[in-house]
């Protein structure tokens, strides 16, 4: 019978598996789901991934989460465009007082690249 330290090691090794950005976004690409717009669910995943947080924090500001606005904005832009949707970098809010849900709202209607 395994002791409690073995159980803890198994549990912690499962919890620490890292999914890289490309793996996370692959099933959401425009090719995987033929949607004319990015959509709310994809926008939430992108924003939360770039802010390194969960959807529970969508009501918090970039500043409250300790997120640097410019790299966050670049991450969101890169994610949206890598999924074959179109958005202008300036359309992605990055001010310290911006709530994450406002970023979701700003990007969810990004159209599919022609």
Is 58 within a domain? yes
> What is the tens place of the pLDDT at every residue in 26-54?
666 555 566 799 999 999 999 999 999 99
Long-range contacts of 21-30 (CB under 8 A, 24+ apart): 21/49, 21/79, 24/49, 25/49, 25/79, 25/82, 25/83, 28/83, 29/82, 29/83, 29/84, 30/83, 30/84, 30/85, 30/112, 30/113
Please indicate, yes or no, if residue 113 is contained in any of the structural domains: no
Domain with 50 in it: 27-107
Burial of 80 (0-12, 13-18, 19+ CB in 10 A): buried
Residue 8 lies in a domain: no
Number of domains in the chain: 1
Positions in the chain whose pLDDT score sits under 50: 12-14
For residue 50, being part of any structural domain is answered with yes
Helix (H, G, I), strand (E, B) or coil at 28: helix
Q: Model pTM greater than 0.75?
A: no
């Amino acid at each position: 019978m395994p002791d409690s330290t073995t159980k803890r090691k198994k549990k912690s090794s499962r919890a620490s598996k890292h999914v890289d950005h490309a793996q996370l976004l692959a099933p959401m690409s425009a090719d995987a789901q033929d949607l004319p717009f990015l959509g709310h669910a994809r926008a939430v995943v992108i924003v939360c991934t770039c802010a390194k947080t969960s959807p529970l924090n969508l009501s918090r500001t970039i500043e409250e989460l300790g997120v640097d606005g410019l790299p966050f904005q670049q991450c969101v832009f890169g994610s949206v465009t890598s999924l074959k949707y179109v958005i202008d970098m300036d359309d992605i809010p990055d001010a310290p007082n911006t709530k994450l849900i406002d970023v979701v709202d700003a990007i969810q209607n990004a159209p599919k690249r022609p």
